[in-house]
Amino acid sequence: MTESMENQQILLAARPNGMPTEETFEFREVPIADPKAGEVLVRTLYLSVDPYMRGRMSDAKSYVEPFQVNEVIPGGIVGEVVQSESDHLKVGDKVIGMLGWQKYNTVEATTVRQVDETIAPLSAYLSVLGMTGLTAYFGLLDIGQPKAGETVVVSGAAGAVGMVVGQIAKIKGARVVGIAGSEKKTTFLEQELGFDATINYKTTDNMEQALDEACPNGVDVYFDNVGGPISDAVMNRLNDFARIPVCGAISSYNKTDDDLGPRIQPKLIKSHAMIKGFVVQDYADRFKEGTQDLGKWLSEGRIKYEETIVEGFDNVPQAFLGLFKGENLGKQLVKVSEPSE
Amino acid sequence: MTESMENQQILLAARPNGMPTEETFEFREVPIADPKAGEVLVRTLYLSVDPYMRGRMSDAKSYVEPFQVNEVIPGGIVGEVVQSESDHLKVGDKVIGMLGWQKYNTVEATTVRQVDETIAPLSAYLSVLGMTGLTAYFGLLDIGQPKAGETVVVSGAAGAVGMVVGQIAKIKGARVVGIAGSEKKTTFLEQELGFDATINYKTTDNMEQALDEACPNGVDVYFDNVGGPISDAVMNRLNDFARIPVCGAISSYNKTDDDLGPRIQPKLIKSHAMIKGFVVQDYADRFKEGTQDLGKWLSEGRIKYEETIVEGFDNVPQAFLGLFKGENLGKQLVKVSEPSE
């Protein structure tokens, strides 16, 4: 079936210096590779673009290997098996995996995992039921450990991770304050997701005062997705024994000058506070537990999720770049093709 | 016995702006208060001056109440009971407590604890067997959790806490790197205490390179006593899952401008690292465990300690100010009077 078909790929053309641009990416057409014994050919349905990928475009030491220049960019993909040389998967099966940013991936069947679209829509496996939801779950519950009545502040609150963080914190009985970058986002957080208070950091002229008003009892847990001046301000309001999971620092990912701010060590001493960086893979041996809880809360309607879906493989670079302009509400995905059934 | 005796006190004369000076302190002579029922009169033998006290001289929120202007400064003192109206203590007993910076304290007998000078010299109860040793013990073992073969870096290594930290880390089988501010100190750490490597930050013209040479396998635990640029450099060398107990930030205590440095949050994510501020009182319910281990290691000769002792109550302010110039090797104490026996 693949004889006449061309595959389209997106490669890392050059490492970006500062904000990535269209020139960071290169589209290439290649023949589709026929699956060999044990392999499957997977057609991409949904493709995930994520802020952490910016880090992998640089050459610096990071928590994972950097992307290679002139190679296909790897990322989270939900797809459909369209040809199978494996006993494990059959044509029509829907799968998820870390695959290449391309329309078709030819891979060992064991490198993907089948998903069940009767439990949740396919796209959810890239958002609330995927790495995004698990990132929120483990960062908040293992590091943040919110208790009933405590105040939890989350930055990047209208992003894919932040939204889930806030809702889990509500389930645990905390007062939840979300920081986001538009009125559309803050309204959504308060009215649709039940956040107790929100701050629009783009229109607030005094972040310190806005935090004082939103957090009259100080801050017990700060789930940090953004870093920079927003985090500086939160760090001045920590309660004793505060916990700070550091999930992302999107404000710094594209900086080319030094990322300078007030040193936080004296604040940590004053508040006996703990701050820890993490990535979701740190909890790989507990994914089942997290997925079960998230699935349960989802089915009970206690967690809602939101996705911003761009259509078309050609628009993958724009969808990625939009993350750094805060264009997405919830998880940013690209819909590449329709399922066959 | 006290009729004809005058007491001498040191009060906080004014809150310092930046580095404290002689004007921060006021000496005052008052009559000694006779002990009432349940009280004892304690003559000061050794008085402890500590960097954390600088924080309490300011009015800002801190982990303990600020000192009050025009009141006697409280601090750690070892003294001798010279008059007793309590069944718990008798004349001649040696005690330790948080008392006032004065030659004589009249206090409830229950606010001091008797010490046994047959186990260790009296001064040791203000250093290795006191809050100083316990600070090192709990910060390193509870937060730092060094494992055999790991690299432990300690700043302020020739200070009272740092010295004990390094020796406990050696007991746990770690490679220990100490950062200190004179060749006398670094030589002492290597030759007397068995540190594996040291860095004299005052003469090193390239801290980054010095750290690379001293820590060829990166940094697993960083016990931070100093903050500032030294800590900035260490934070660039963290291994995955590094642990950083933050005990002090002496480089910032007297700063009047902003204490700016590279934001550490992105580094914490890259290394999945954890950093936690603490004070020894966080472990109050485990002091017995810590004191037992420290006493055992001391008696086995596995921990040595060093004290810098200034003579005379008049020299208390200078001894305190000397802490910020790094004049002390090990614990800085003031010997105020001789025991009567």
Of the candidates A26, A52, A28, the residue with the CA atom closest to the CA atom of residue A103 = A28
Calculate how close chain B gets to A266, using CA atoms only, in Å.
Answer: 6
Distance CA A226, CA A90 (A): 42
**pLDDT value, residue A4:** 52
Q: Identify all chain B residues contacting A227, using CB atoms and an 8 Å cutoff.
A: 263, 265-266
**pLDDT value, residue A327:** 85
**pLDDT value, residue A64:** 63
Give the residue from chain B lying closest to A61, CA to CA.
Answer: B270
Per cent of chain B over pLDDT 70 is 97
Give the residue from chain B lying closest to A275, CA to CA.
Answer: B275
Region A84-88: mean pLDDT is 96
From the list B227, B258, B265, the residue facing A249 with the nearest CB is: B265
Q: Does A257 touch chain B (CB under 8 A)?
A: no
Distance CA B85, CA B81 (A): 10
Beta-carbon contacts of residue A98 (< 8 Å; ≥ 6 apart): A74, A75, A76, A77, A111
- Contact indicator for A183, A204 with CB cutoff of 8 Å: no
| Cβ within 8 Å, pair A248-B267 | no
Q: Does B155 touch chain A (CB under 8 A)?
A: no
Distance CA B110, CA B84 (A): 12
Confidence of residue A257 (pLDDT cuts 50, 70, 90): confident
Extract the tokens encoding B175. Answer: 């490679």
Of the candidates B174, B185, B173, B30, the residue with the CA atom closest to the CA atom of residue B102 = B30
Crossing angle of helices B287-299 and B131-138, rounded to 10° = 100
- Contact indicator for A192, A108 with CB cutoff of 8 Å: no
Calculate how close chain A gets to B287, using CA atoms only, in Å.
Answer: 18
| Cβ within 8 Å, pair B275-A265 | yes
Calculate how close chain A gets to B257, using CA atoms only, in Å.
Answer: 10
Distance CA A114, CA A110 (A): 10
Of the candidates A278, A277, A230, the residue with the CA atom closest to the CA atom of residue A252 = A230
Distance CA A219, CA A230 (A): 14
Digitized pLDDT (tens) for each residue of chain B, 341 residues in all: 444 579 999 999 999 988 999 999 999 999 999 999 999 999 999 999 998 899 889 876 555 678 999 999 999 999 999 999 999 999 999 999 999 999 999 999 999 999 988 888 999 999 999 999 999 999 999 999 999 999 999 999 999 999 999 999 999 999 999 999 999 999 999 999 999 999 999 999 999 999 999 999 999 999 999 999 999 999 999 999 999 999 998 888 888 778 999 999 999 999 999 999 999 999 999 999 999 999 999 989 999 999 999 999 999 999 999 999 888 888 999 999 999 86
Extract the tokens encoding B146. Answer: 């060094």
Q: With a cut of 0.95, is the ipTM above it? A: no
Distance CA A9, CA B336 (A): 79
Calculate how close chain A gets to B160, using CA atoms only, in Å.
Answer: 18
Q: Identify all chain A residues contacting B260, using CB atoms and an 8 Å cutoff.
A: 260-263
Phi first, then psi: give them for residue B52, nearest 5 degrees: -60, -20
From the list A240, A248, A266, the residue facing B249 with the nearest CB is: A266
pLDDT at A326 over 90: no
Question: Using one digit for the tens of pLDDT, what is the confidence trace for A50-85?
Answer: 988 998 898 765 556 789 999 999 999 999 999 999
Confidence of residue A341 (pLDDT cuts 50, 70, 90): low
Strands (E), A109-258: 113-114, 151-155, 175-180, 197-200, 219-223, 238-246
Testing the interface with A: which of B231, B236, B263, B281 to mutate, by most A Cβ within 10 A?
Answer: B263
Any idea which fold A6-127+306-335 has?
Answer: Quinone Oxidoreductase; Chain A, domain 1 (3.90.180)
Q: What count of other Cβ atoms lies within 10 Å of the Cβ of residue B77?
A: 25
Distance CA B265, CA A222 (A): 13
**pLDDT value, residue B2:** 44
Crossing angle of helices B160-171 and B287-299, rounded to 10° = 80
| Cβ within 8 Å, pair B246-A265 | yes
From the list B61, B269, B277, the residue facing A63 with the nearest CB is: B269
A residues 219..238 contacting B (CB < 8 A): 224, 227-228, 231
Residue with tokens 């914190």, as numbered in its chain: A169
Per cent of chain A over pLDDT 70 is 97
Q: Does B61 touch chain A (CB under 8 A)?
A: yes
Q: Does A156 touch chain B (CB under 8 A)?
A: no
| Cβ within 8 Å, pair A246-B265 | yes
pLDDT at A3 over 50: no
Q: Identify all chain A residues contacting B66, using CB atoms and an 8 Å cutoff.
A: none
Residue with tokens 């930046």, as numbered in its chain: B18
- Contact indicator for B275, A243 with CB cutoff of 8 Å: no
| Cβ within 8 Å, pair A270-B240 | no
* Domain B131-283+291-297 CATH (choose: 3.40.1390.30, 3.40.47.10, 3.90.105.10, 3.40.50.720): 3.40.50.720
A329 versus B253: the higher-pLDDT residue is: A329
Question: Using one digit for the tens of pLDDT, what is the confidence trace for B106-161?
Answer: 999 999 999 988 888 999 999 999 999 999 999 999 999 999 999 999 999 999 99
**Total CB pairs under 8 A between chain A and B:** 119
Q: Which residues pair with A39 in a beta bridge?
A: A108
**pLDDT value, residue B1:** 47
User: Would you say the C-alpha torsion A73, A76, A80, A86 has a positive or negative sign?
Assistant: positive
Distance CA B118, CA B105 (A): 24
DSSP A69: T
- Judged on CB neighbours under 10 Å (0-12, 13-18, 19+), B118 is exposed
Distance CA B15, CA B23 (A): 10
- Contact indicator for A104, A249 with CB cutoff of 8 Å: no
**pLDDT value, residue B47:** 97
3-state secondary structure labels for all residues of chain B: CCCCCEEEEEEECCCCCCCCCHHHEEEEEEECCCCCCCEEEEEEEEEECCCHHHHHHCCCCCCCCCCCCCCECEEEEEEEEEEECCCCCCCCCEEEEEEECECEEEEEHHHCEECCCCCCCHHHHHCCCCHHHHHHHHHHHHHHCCCCCCEEEEECCCEHHHHHHHHHHHHCCCEEEEEECCHHHHHHHHHCCCCCEEEECCCCCCHHHHHHHHCCCCEEEEEECCCHHHHHHHHHHEEEEEEEEECCCCCCCCCCCCCEEECCHHHHHHHCCEEEECCHHHHHHHHHHHHHHHHHHHHCCCCCCCEEEEECHHHHHHHHHHHHHCCCCEEEEEECCCCCC
Whole-structure pTM value:
0.90
Distance CA A163, CA A330 (A): 7
Calculate how close chain A gets to B176, using CA atoms only, in Å.
Answer: 22
User: Would you say the C-alpha torsion B225, B226, B228, B233 has a positive or negative sign?
Assistant: negative
| Cβ within 8 Å, pair B269-A278 | yes
Q: Does A246 touch chain B (CB under 8 A)?
A: yes
First to last CA, chain A: 18
Testing the interface with A: which of B53, B63, B265 to mutate, by most A Cβ within 10 A?
Answer: B265
User: Would you say the C-alpha torsion A105, A109, A112, A114 has a positive or negative sign?
Assistant: positive
Q: Does A249 touch chain B (CB under 8 A)?
A: yes
Distance CA B63, CA A88 (A): 59
Distance CA B321, CA B160 (A): 15
Per cent of chain A over pLDDT 90 is 85
Testing the interface with B: which of A263, A270, A283 to mutate, by most B Cβ within 10 A?
Answer: A263
Q: Identify all chain A residues contacting B275, using CB atoms and an 8 Å cutoff.
A: 265, 268, 274-276
Compute the radius of gyration of chain A from its Cα atoms: 21
Distance CA A129, CA A125 (A): 5
Q: Identify all chain B residues contacting A272, using CB atoms and an 8 Å cutoff.
A: 63, 276-279, 282
Phi first, then psi: give them for residue B225, nearest 5 degrees: -105, -10
First to last CA, chain B: 18
| Cβ within 8 Å, pair A282-B272 | yes
The gap from C-alpha A70 to its chain's centroid, in whole angstroms, comes to 25
Extract the tokens encoding B334. Answer: 């003031």
Q: Does A279 touch chain B (CB under 8 A)?
A: yes
Distance CA B184, CA B200 (A): 10
| Cβ within 8 Å, pair B276-A277 | no
Domain ranges of chain B: 6-127+306-335, 131-283+291-297
Question: Using one digit for the tens of pLDDT, what is the confidence trace for A16-35?
Answer: 988 999 999 999 999 999 99
∠A329-A160-A278 over CA atoms, to 5°?
150
Q: Does B273 touch chain A (CB under 8 A)?
A: yes
**pLDDT value, residue B4:** 52
- The string of DSSP letters for A25-59 reads EEEEEEEPPPP-TTEEEEEEEEEE--THHHHHHS-
| Cβ within 8 Å, pair A277-B279 | no
Residue with tokens 């790929």, as numbered in its chain: A9
Q: Identify all chain A residues contacting B227, using CB atoms and an 8 Å cutoff.
A: 263, 265-266
Q: Identify all chain B residues contacting A228, using CB atoms and an 8 Å cutoff.
A: 263
